Amino acid sequence: MIRSPLRLACLALALLAPVAAQAQAARKPHILYIVADDLGFADVGFRSPEIATPTIDQLAREGAELEQFYVQPMCTPTRAALMTGRYPMRYGLQSFVILPEQNYGIPLDEKLLPQILKEAGYSTAIIGKWHLGHADRKLWPKQRGFDYQYGALIGEIDYNTHKVHGVTDWYRNNRKLDEPGYVTTLLGKDAVRHIRQHDPAKPLFMYLAFTAPHTPFQAPKEYVDRFNSIADPNRRTYAAMINAMDEQIGAVLAELSRKGMREDTLVIFHSDNGGVTSAAFAGQIETKGQLPARNTPLRNGKGSLDEGGTRAVALANWPGRIKPGKVDQPMHVVDMLPTLAARAGASLAGTKPLDGVDVWQTLSRGAPSPRTEIVYNVEMFRAALRQGDWKLNLRATLPAKVELYNIAKDPGETTNLAAENAPLVAALQKRIDDLSREMKPSLFFQETFKSYLGRHAPAPVFPNDDAFFIQGD
């Protein structure tokens, strides 16, 4: 039979269409992973009209708003969990943050997310805050899988001088920089510049880790003036810091669009912990006045194992690949490594046993989460665990505390149901105790105690009390 050229062309297109679809599906996405610092759960425009975040709002509206995205209660542990796909208690980073005078970091035998993606053909860049080791160059981002680095190694810096305790903490590719500018603006501009220079044919993983809105509360006057309706000065400046970050995120997305990369880019955004509601966690730089963050309707904030400290504002956006809407399913930041690795077609060879699971179906279309347990944290003096809807919060320091909440019905943790559910408390407490036996000693407390004893004293065994007292006898 003789076929017309038009019919042959149509037949060819029909045969090639599945191949093209498979090729599109197999393409490695660009990944833009954005982390805010100490952002309150309620402090984005789609939750509170008081703070304008039009870019973040649009990402949430056109993507998945993640209602139950869990992180660690503080900065270093959350970032470590993201980088390893493992709970920080596995390697001693479960407590507090790495202070400027401390010399430990994420252990070198942990294989990190940028290393995994780099092996899969990605160009990797960190622009912003690291806070996973600064005293030894082996712990720096360029030595842990990032091709490009720009920003702060610690992060709790002055937004204009880029200093912490009088020392500059501002680097590009291992070299200290002395340059003027507001930190948030510099990070956004550098991200835009990096994308502009990037070859779209090569997959890009950009970890854009803002220091905003962490203390000190500082913002250019032009941003502060946008919030004159807010009476409290800290709240007004805090809002300005968030707005400035939102504006830079918008510039980065615009550059992705200009380069023809936006449709192929998976965007993840979340805070590293809840907003600061206690002066104990407001940072080393003195902050006067009322703390401005809001984690409504959740209880407490940064540093606590309550929902306000560990449930972060979060979203995911990928045009045509992520179904818009709210996803009210539990997931944890440790899940991001296996989820991103799967999208990138990356091998997990060389990683230690992961606590994270691939939550793509939940993230992208709201399917039930494969995660049945959330480990909020396990430390020598406290722990919290959630299984299903039930959360147990333990404090071992006296006066001891045992709290049980049905998080689905009571996300604000207002009604302690421990007394009425003794068998459930016992089961969850046993699970926590089992996890504690897998816990590595806290590097923060080891380092702190070593400093107290003196640098030439033997390294203490801590926090394992039995071993500690045996050593002291």
Q: Which residues are catalytic?
A: 75, 131
Beta-strand relationship, 382-387 and 390-395: antiparallel
Cα separation, 340 vs 364, in Å, equals 12
Residue among 385, 41, 395, 404 at smallest CA distance from 242: 41
CB atoms within 10 A of CB 472: 8
Residues 6+ apart with CB under 8 A from 112: 83, 84, 106, 144, 145
Cα separation, 64 vs 30, in Å, equals 18
Cα separation, 152 vs 158, in Å, equals 11
Cα separation, 205 vs 63, in Å, equals 19
Is the alpha carbon torsion for 301, 92, 424, 371 positive or negative?
positive
Backbone angle region of 454, left / alpha / beta, with phi > 0 → left and psi within -120 to 50 → alpha: left
213 touches 241 (CB < 8 A) = yes
The C-alpha angle with vertex 356 and arms to 76 and 34, in degrees rounded to 5, equals: 50
Is the alpha carbon torsion for 33, 39, 41, 45 positive or negative?
negative
122 touches 98 (CB < 8 A) = no
244 touches 185 (CB < 8 A) = yes
Cα separation, 16 vs 1, in Å, equals 22
Q: Quick one: which H or E segment has residue 458?
A: none
Amino acid at 104: Y
Cα separation, 93 vs 77, in Å, equals 6
76 touches 92 (CB < 8 A) = no
User: Helix (H, G, I), strand (E, B), or coil: what is residue 270?
Assistant: strand
DSSP 123-175: EEEEEE---S--SSGGGSGGGTT-SEEEE-SS----TTT-EETTEE--EETTE
